Every structure is written in structure tokens, then in C-alpha cells.
């Protein structure tokens, strides 16, 4: 007789994966009130100098992203010597396509950066947004580390929406456009090769807000009879 041997079937466990990986999201800019709320929650999570440095580092990173519109990869590869204090400018040495450009910083944002440079003296020289402890202290942070910190920050603020580094870039473009910054200037600041790419970033503006100037047009600069006049 043939003997049958039972073998236990192995059922593979489902793999945990990042549901956002590979997905493309429409422009969803950070709003000014959300930015202010996040800054408010950039506080030390425990006692000690290391926690204070981590909180201050997260705050200045958000300021750089939201007030300059640089990409997260560009922000993390900035070094202290890339700052031009006399011009309130930052040299981006490794932009998209490894292109070099200069971005400007407003007065409020520059004061935040200057304060961070004072705090940063406790960390070895190197990256502007550095690792704060261990043998890698002073070197560049990684993008996954930043994303984890943003997720934790979102939970602390209670914001019920996705928060990602690129949304600060979109938020910068929308706020700057509302303040009257020309699209051509935004193109240079954002490092876009084409003007139409910069224009896409403004899709986060409410349609009625964009159309409002049309409704506010003045009467034609000539004498035109009103309705009912003969």
C-alpha cells in the first residue's frame, strides 16, 4: 500500500507595505494656519539638550521648506556655507538634475534660520539640517527620517490629513502667488525648467479665488450706455 504523508501547508503572511508608495497625489498645499500649528508643536518631547536640538531642527526645516519652496532633497543637502547672510539667500548646489541655483529667504524666515545657527553650535559642523547625536552627528539627515518625524508631528497637532514634505513646496507657491509674486519669479525660486510646471503648483488655489479679479474688473474706459438708456 502506498503511504500518504501529510504535510503542513505554509501560508505566507501578508507583507506590510507603505500604501503611499508609487502613488501620485494632486497638489495639496499646506495652509498658513496649518504651518503655524505645526510650528507650535515643534517642542521637545522629553527633557534634555538632545530633545531640544531635535525640536529646533524640525522647526527650522519646516521654515526652510515653507518659506523657500525648496525640495526636501535640496534642503537636506544644504550646508552652513551655502547661506549668504548679506543677501538673505541660499545656494542650492544640487537641485533637480544636479543644477545649481540661488533661492531667496524673506526677513522672518531668515531670522528663524539665524536663530537655528546659534543653536546648532552644539552640533559638529556640517549639514544645515544635521543628525544631532552619535557618530554621524553633523552629517545629513535622510528623507525617511524626516517623513517619520512629520507623521509624528501630524499626530501631535491633530491634523486629519496627509502631511508630506512636497506639500510645503506647493504651499509656498500658493502663498507667494497670493502675495503678488510673479510667476516668472516663482519659476526661478522653485527651479522649474518650464513656466507651465510652476503654474501647476498654483492649482491648490480655490477656483473662485483665482476668478475673483475678473469679477472685480472696472467698467470699460469709455462711455457706454447703461441698460435702459437710449
Catalytic annotation on 94? no
Catalytic annotation on 201? yes
Q: Which of 31, 88, 115, 192 is catalytic?
A: 192
Catalytic annotation on 41? no
128-145 core/surface letters (b: 16 or more CB in 10 A; e: else): bbbbbeeeeebebbeeee
Which DSSP string do the residues of 73-84 spell out, in sequence order?
Answer: HHHHT-BGGGEE
Catalytic annotation on 192? yes
Q: Which of 96, 115, 156, 203 is catalytic?
A: 96
> Which residue matches cell numbers 497638489?
27
d(CA 157, CA 227): 55
Q: Which of 71, 120, 154, 170 is catalytic?
A: 71
Catalytic annotation on 166? yes
Chain centroid offset of residue 117 CA? 20
Q: Which of 93, 147, 156, 166 is catalytic?
A: 166
Q: Which of 67, 120, 169, 170 is catalytic?
A: 169
| Positions marked catalytic | 71, 96, 166, 169, 192, 201
Amino acid at each position: 500500500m502506498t503511504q500518504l504523508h501529510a504535510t503542513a501547508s505554509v501560508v505566507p503572511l501578508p507583507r506590510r507595505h507603505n500604501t503611499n508608495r508609487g502613488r501620485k497625489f494632486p497638489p495639496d498645499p499646506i495652509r498658513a494656519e496649518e504651518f503655524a500649528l505645526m510650528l507650535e508643536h515643534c517642542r521637545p518631547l522629553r527633557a534634555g539638550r538632545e530633545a531640544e536640538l531635535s525640536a529646533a531642527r524640525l522647526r527650522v526645516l519646516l521654515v526652510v521648506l515653507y518659506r523657500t519652496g525648496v525640495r526636501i532633497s535640496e534642503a537636506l543637502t544644504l550646508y552652513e556655507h551655502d547661506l549668504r547672510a548679506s543677501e538673505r539667500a541660499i545656494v542650492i548646489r544640487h537641485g533637480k538634475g544636479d543644477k545649481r541655483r540661488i533661492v531667496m529667504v524673506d526677513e522672518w524666515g531668515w531670522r528663524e534660520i539665524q536663530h537655528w545657527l546659534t543653536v546648532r553650535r552644539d552640533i559638529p559642523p556640517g549639514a544645515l539640517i544635521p543628525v544631532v547625536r552619535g557618530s554621524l552627528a553633523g552629517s545629513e539627515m535622510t528623507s525617511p527620517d524626516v517623513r517619520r518625524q512629520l507623521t509624528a508631528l501630524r499626530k501631535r497637532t491633530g491634523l486629519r490629513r496627509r502631511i508630506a514634505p512636497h506639500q510645503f513646496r506647493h504651499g509656498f507657491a500658493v502663498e507667494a502667488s497670493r502675495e503678488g509674486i510673479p510667476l516668472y519669479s516663482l519659476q526661478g525660486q522653485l527651479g522649474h525648467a518650464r513656466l507651465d510646471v510652476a503654474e501647476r503648483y498654483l492649482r491648490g488655489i480655490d477656483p473662485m479665488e483665482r476668478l475673483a479679479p475678473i469679477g472685480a474688473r472696472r467698467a470699460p474706459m469709455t462711455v457706454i450706455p447703461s441698460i435702459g438708456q437710449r
